[in-house]
Amino acid sequence: MAQVDVLGEFFFSRVVGKPITDAEGRKVGRIKDMAVRWDSICPRVTGIKYAKGVQSHIDINQIESWDESGLKLRGSFSAEKLTLLKDDEIYVSKWLMDKQVIDLKGSKLVRVNDIKISWVRHGETVDIILVSFDIGLRGLLRRVGMDFLVKENESSFIGWQFVKPLESKTASLRLSQEQDQLKRMHPADIADIIEDLDHHERTDFLDNLDNQTAAEALAKVDLDTQVKIIEQMDPERASDILEEMPPDEAADLLGELTEQRSSELLNLMEPGEAEDVRDLMSYPEDTAGSLMTTEYIAFPIGMTVEETINRLRELAPSAETIYYLYVIGEEDESLLGVLSLRDLIVAQPDAVIGDLMNTRIISVNHHDDNRKVLEVVSKYNLLAVPVVDDQNILQGIITVDDVIETLMPNRSDLKTFSWFMLPRRPGRG
């Protein structure tokens, strides 16, 4: 293997604008940009743009020496030796600098503030490669010659080898393992990234998420942004994501769309999911029915503990919460009692849940107003409250987090908000 000699290392920001001279000492221009070809692990410089408004470049094989004071050519400058920008080449300044990329370690959106370049020789071959890019404050200040203000701070680099080549010149940068790592991120962190992206980049970003991950993240985004995203999204993909969202979240979102767009998406959804969402959308905004979710778990009164636990394993992944298990009638879904998960686990396998349930049920009517819901949750220290109709048929549940988000949008009232954030003691259902 040929020995690799490093001929020079510098930052893009430090060499842009520096003079270019030929072997006779004549100034032929300044470094305006660099053309690169990204067909390997790291982008490779193929030419130097020497003047504004030209599309021809100085080939890197003509370079004799290069440092932060400028670039010197091997021979005399000649237009015949220039090369044109190829279809598979891009400009560093135009298409790489300031590109956004997701910093998975910090769960945030960052920018390419500067680029580290290495000029190397291996055998008879000379290459200029983009080694890494700086996403930190020091890289940003270096561009304006003020990095001395943070000279004690280390630069924050990401190697180009960890980035996928651009699919198009206007696309965002993507880390090689981005999709797998995004699945392991908390939905709230993904939501923060989505809110930081502009509307073009959001579409590109969401295209790289599976429906479930996209739905979980979208549920954490503010409602106005949700609406903008769904309005711009392909209807088929939008309906798939809505199916994965909790029905109450999907209902809130669809309620903000035009009637035409809302109907279009509901018609594309699976009939069962669409019916649940339509039912929730029919409730006035300030009622318990508009707050509830239909993703609860209820079991007939005659089931044994063993049967219930086995069924619970199947139903739990799609439920909003499983701490409270609701017991309903065998013939209808009238609410008869409530059972905590703890009581179920410690009970004998052959015990009937109807004998274990607590019949002192705290519930709200689906037509009760929001203030009534808040009073019940607060008074009885509930994690979730069941919602019933006038015939005591279970319609859904309202969880404490939905109460906080809907009834307490102003979290500046820390005294009141702190009550909600205290560790909760199980109530009576």
Question: For 340-384, what is each residue's pLDDT tens digit?
Answer: 899 999 999 999 999 999 999 999 999 999 989 999 998 998 889
Q: Are residues 160 and 209 in the same domain?
A: no
Q: Are residues 152 and 26 in the same domain?
A: yes
Q: Are residues 146 and 196 in the same domain?
A: no
For tokens 């996403």, the residue is 135
Beta-strand pair 44-49/56-59: antiparallel
Residue ranges making up the domain that contains 4 = 1-164
Q: Are residues 93 and 142 in the same domain?
A: yes
- Please indicate, yes or no, if residue 170 is contained in any of the structural domains: no
User: 10, 6, 47: which is closest to 29 by C-alpha?
Assistant: 47
Would you state the pLDDT for residue 175? Answer: 76
Would you state the pLDDT for residue 429? Answer: 42
Listed residues 233, 249, 282: the one ending a domain: 282
What's the mean pLDDT when you consider all of the chain? 86
Q: Are residues 53 and 151 in the same domain?
A: yes
- Please indicate, yes or no, if residue 135 is contained in any of the structural domains: yes
Dist CA 46 CA 60 (whole Å): 6
Question: For 98-114, what is each residue's pLDDT tens digit?
Answer: 988 877 665 677 889 99
3-state secondary structure of 120: strand
Tell me which DSSP letter residue 159 carries: E
Q: Are residues 60 and 99 in the same domain?
A: yes
421, exposed or middle or buried, with CB in 10 Å at 0-12, 13-18, 19+?
exposed
Tell me which DSSP letter residue 86 carries: P
Q: What are the phi and psi torsion angles at 18 (to 5°)?
A: -75, 150
3-state secondary structure of 127: strand
User: 96, 82, 72: which is closest to 15 by C-alpha?
Assistant: 72
Listed residues 251, 282, 313: the one ending a domain: 282
Would you state the pLDDT for residue 395? Answer: 95
Q: Are residues 10 and 152 in the same domain?
A: yes
Beta-strand pair 125-134/114-122: antiparallel
Dist CA 14 CA 11 (whole Å): 5
The mean per-residue pLDDT over the stretch 189-211 comes to: 83
Dist CA 292 CA 299 (whole Å): 19
- Please indicate, yes or no, if residue 427 is contained in any of the structural domains: no
Quote the tokens at residue 218: 């979208």
Dist CA 319 CA 343 (whole Å): 19
In CATH, what number is assigned to the domain containing residue 390? Answer: 3.10.580.10
End-to-end CA distance of the chain: 72
For the chain, the domain total comes to 3
The mean per-residue pLDDT over the stretch 116-140 comes to: 88
Question: For 301-315, what is each residue's pLDDT tens digit?
Answer: 999 999 999 999 888
Q: Are residues 39 and 158 in the same domain?
A: yes
Using 50, 70 and 90 to split pLDDT, how confident is the model at 421? Answer: very low
| Among the ranges given (37-46, 165-174, 358-367), the one the predictor scored with the smallest mean pLDDT | 165-174
Q: Are residues 243 and 312 in the same domain?
A: no
Q: Are residues 5 and 132 in the same domain?
A: yes
Quote the tokens at residue 250: 């999907």
- Please indicate, yes or no, if residue 428 is contained in any of the structural domains: no
Quote the tokens at residue 292: 């509830």
Using 50, 70 and 90 to split pLDDT, how confident is the model at 260? Answer: very high
Dist CA 175 CA 122 (whole Å): 28
Q: Are residues 160 and 202 in the same domain?
A: no
- Please indicate, yes or no, if residue 173 is contained in any of the structural domains: no
422 against 222, higher pLDDT:
222
Q: Let me know the angle formed at the C-alpha of 365 by 360 and 366, rounded to the nearest 5 degrees.
A: 140
| Among the ranges given (260-269, 283-292, 378-387, 407-416), the one the predictor scored with the smallest mean pLDDT | 407-416
- Please indicate, yes or no, if residue 151 is contained in any of the structural domains: yes
Dist CA 112 CA 110 (whole Å): 7
The answer to whether the Cα torsion of 13, 16, 22, 26 is positive or negative is: negative
Residue 416 pLDDT greater than 90, yes or no:
no
From residue 237, give the alpha-carbon distance in Å to each of 141, 204, 209, 212, 406: 41, 13, 11, 11, 27
- Please indicate, yes or no, if residue 39 is contained in any of the structural domains: yes
Q: Are residues 326 and 399 in the same domain?
A: yes
- Please indicate, yes or no, if residue 174 is contained in any of the structural domains: no
